Structure 1
């Protein structure tokens, strides 16, 4: 099992940014003021719940504060940076911890889907964002 100590600082940031970005990408895909609070709460709850995951990698990721993005990042920036981070994370896991790749994929997808459902979602923009996340994780 791999955890945070097994990765460089840059690799860890890509893993973290990919996960956080997946939730944020879904949230910004269909913006609504009150929806944002529900989605942020859902992201936090999902991370808290993942602290007991079987995967050490997922536990380590869930134990950190979400990050990698600023308040001024535009939706296109969030999308581009998330897709790039997820691609880099997948490559890192393939080379350094292939046994953790599936756990990472499941964690990221469940996080994105939880955020999408938080505000009664499931509409086209959110489904499109989740499709982009799935493609980046392949």
Structure 2
């Protein structure tokens, strides 16, 4: 049974998804690459459907810190964990789609220049860990 998300819950899902892309994009900075990476992430997010699509396409963009990668991680990784909890409680059938979408977007961003840098791979692993089911 799917339940509607609150504005705060939609923002959590959006912060996790957009933040994951931001983490990977900033792992190997470069202005030209950032533009290409934005298009890659947009393509992945365009595949969203249902509750996940609604969360990613409504409301304001998430506010992420820009000072350091650690500050970004301190916001994004917990948001991903909360997003998993929210979807598990409100729309379990969308949980797998959200995980797959976030990881696909992160991986597409990392592959923009055809080679995944070690820092990008490490960021993806931290994202994957944040999206995992608790043990």
Q: Which runs of 5+ in 2 are unaligned?
A: none
Q: How far 1:8 moved relative to its partner?
A: 1.1
Q: Which residue of 2 aligns with 1:13?
A: 11
Q: Which residue of 1 aligns with 2:32?
A: 34
Does structure 1 conserve the Cα–Cα contact (< 8 Å) formed by 2:40 and 2:109?
Answer: yes
- Over aligned residue pairs, what C-alpha RMSD do you find? 2.1
Give the whole-Å Cα distance in 2 for the aligned partners of 1:73 and 1:118.
24
Secondary structure at the counterpart of residue 118 of structure 1: coil
Pairs aligned (count): 132
Q: Does 1:57 align with 2:51?
A: yes
Secondary structure at the counterpart of residue 44 of structure 2: helix
Distance of aligned partners of 1:34 and 1:85 in 2 relative to their CA distance in 1, 3 Å threshold: same
Give the whole-Å Cα distance in 1 for the aligned partners of 2:102 and 2:67.
20
Superposed CA offset, 1:38-94 (max 9, x none): 1112122222x31xx4x4023324434882135744322221111010011011111
Q: Which residue of 1 aligns with 2:107?
A: 113
Superposed CA offset, 1:79-138 (max 9, x none): 111101001101111111112111111111111111111123311000000000000001
**Larger mean Cα displacement after TM superposition, 85-94 or 67-76:** 67-76
Q: Which residue of 1 aligns with 2:63?
A: 69
Q: Which runs of 5+ in 1 are unaligned?
A: none
Q: Which residue of 1 aligns with 2:79?
A: 85
Does structure 2 conserve the Cα–Cα contact (< 8 Å) formed by 1:58 and 1:107?
Answer: no
Of Structure 1 and Structure 2, which has the larger fraction of its residues in helix?
1
Distance of aligned partners of 1:46 and 1:18 in 2 relative to their CA distance in 1, 3 Å threshold: same
What is the TM-score when the length of structure 1 is the normalising length? 0.83
